[in-house]
Structure 1
Amino acid sequence: MTTPFYVSPQQAMADRAEYARKGIARGRSVVVLQYADGIVFVAENPSRALHKVSEIYDRIAFAAVGKYNEFENLRIGGVRYADLRGYTYDREDVTARGLANVYAQTLGTIFSSAAEKPYEVELIVAEVGEGPEDDQIYRLPHDGSIVDEHGSVAVGGNADQISSYLDQHHRDGLTLAEALKLAVDSLSRDNNGGERSLTAEQLEVAVLDRTRPQKRKFKRVLGRQLSRLLEPEEGAAGSETESSGTEESDG
């Protein structure tokens, strides 16, 4: 009988992590920013059917990069967890922190299991609070760790370069138009230091807007509304009329 090929546990985990990171890096990036009235999600995504950004619950949204079928399964599981917890206890008991813990356990279990490949996904779970100081943004890498983010965060693609740009230019109190422009500028930068041109048709944009009177704070920014926000001359005006030309997500 032949002797099985031996790989140290450390090397095996390093190989799994490298496999997952390469899969995530092949995807287009997603940027999440805090602005004065909430949190904005901007993804480079020309598809209008396969969303990278979705609603989870009243004040909570989800963004992901990587393999669509894998993060879609996680999204669906998160919606079921939130609905069940809100129904069993109270809607206020559904929090981004609790959801992030559930995702961390799932990703961590899959990553450490030798029976299946690690998920090639990186997630962001965000919750808008009563004020900017109450906002919560959590980033969950492929291995199930949780990173508490503040201000801005980028995942997928050349996330390191985008995050560095955001750290230098993001500030508190941005309007929606200013935050959207900053997000698009960061996504437009390529690995060689040049810039690409991104149009409204290439972007998926959604917000958690704390000023909305209803419980559900999530809404997508689409069509003419998004085009107005992307135009420098009319961006400020578009921010003032953001309630028009938008569509609510069904999750």
Structure 2
Amino acid sequence: MSLATLDLPARPRTASAPTPSVTPATPTAAGSTGSSAAPADGAPRLRAVPAGTEARGFVLYVGLDEAKAAQSGTDLGAIVEQLKSLVAQLSPAAETYAAVALAPRGAGGRDVDVVRLALQDPAALAKHRQSEDAPAAKVREGIVIDISRKRLLLDGEAAPLTYKEFELLQYLVLREGRTIDRAELISSLWADGEDEIPNERTIDVHVRRLRSKLGTYEDIVRTVRGVGYRFDRHADVSIRHASTPSPDFF
């Protein structure tokens, strides 16, 4: 079975406004539903009725708990009885069935959405499944620069920094707030001569690669135009120092 929806015309709500009537739908030659005469302007229209089917009734979901009903001076049972009585007045041949939706106490969401889900409304179930299947937003845990273990954690996961990239980051971190020019980085980090000594332009390449691995936290390494680079304390950054002072700090 599938569900159709009923389009009601927009009209001002007044005490004397007449109750709208529904024009019975009849099959057309094309297999869709229509009426023997064009519906009068303002009459409700059924839509989304698949070919080969007919409307056999409707479901009205009411989002209302006992507490809210009591605030209005009524209860759910009284509302149900009045609705059933109204249907009997409008169409004595109509059959009615009422079901109360039960949900865990304090279930979040709009009342009517909770009711639709509890009563297995197909559209509500499909939307609920989509929300469950959607990937959860990744929680930002921040960045941890672990000096003692020579590693970098981004949102709880280890970043694939090379040894030289971590040395570069560490050098800036241990000199927090001070702008380090390129010449100092070269003389300090490549002094052992084991690696090819870069020029100042190559330093920019090393910094660019480091930033790419920092992801959304790349701005913790700042560029000071015409001078060099610096690290400033950031709310998302935690620094874990070794139990003894680092030999790199001087």
Interval containing the TM-score (normalised by the shorter chain): under 0.3
Relative contact order, higher structure (CA 8 A, sep 6+)? 1
Structure number with greater Rg is 2
Of Structure 1 and Structure 2, which has the larger fraction of its residues in strand? 1
> What TM-score results when the alignment is normalised by the length of structure 2?
0.20
> What TM-score results when the alignment is normalised by the length of structure 1?
0.20
